[in-house]
Amino acid sequence: MPISVLGLLTIIGYGACYYAYGVLIGPIRTDTGWPDAALGAIFSAALVISGAGGIVAGRVLDRAGPRPGFLVAGTAGAGAMLAASVQGALVPFAVAYAGGCGVVGALGFYHITQAVAARSAPAARPRRPRGPSSG
């Protein structure tokens, strides 16, 4: 898998789950009247799901390679976020958004993309920095 594709996957995942939520939380609150505490808790739930799911994602990566995880993140994760975008009630929005971003975070963030990048060039050896401090 080309490194540029892994970078793009990471940017899209982070953008959709982290940065977009930070930008949209104000308009979501204004449009829905949902409290800031609830919207913050939803984001926290996405982080918890992402962290817990990351453990499972690492095992899936080791056993099945990157494609199954990326497929689930791209379909189930993105599908759940799409479902969140049309919710009019807080609880369904919370479940869909936290679940979708939790899945994307577990299967598509740095802990997965960096491992896949390292595996794509197994013969490349780590290099020591050159310069005055390298000794």
In a domain? residue 128: no
Assigned domain for 75 exists: yes
CA 9, 19, 48, 95 dihedral sign is negative
| Residue-level pLDDT at 64 | 93
Is residue 126 included in any domain, yes or no?
no
134 has pLDDT over 70: no
Domains held by the chain: number: 1
Backbone angles phi, psi at 95, to 5 degrees: -65, -45
| Segments forming the whole domain that contains residue 62 | 3-121
Contact 1/116 with Cβ under 8 angstroms?
yes
In a domain, 77, yes or no: yes
Q: What is the pTM of this model?
A: 0.82
Asked if residue 134 is part of any domain, the answer here is: no
Q: Residue 103 above 90 pLDDT?
A: yes
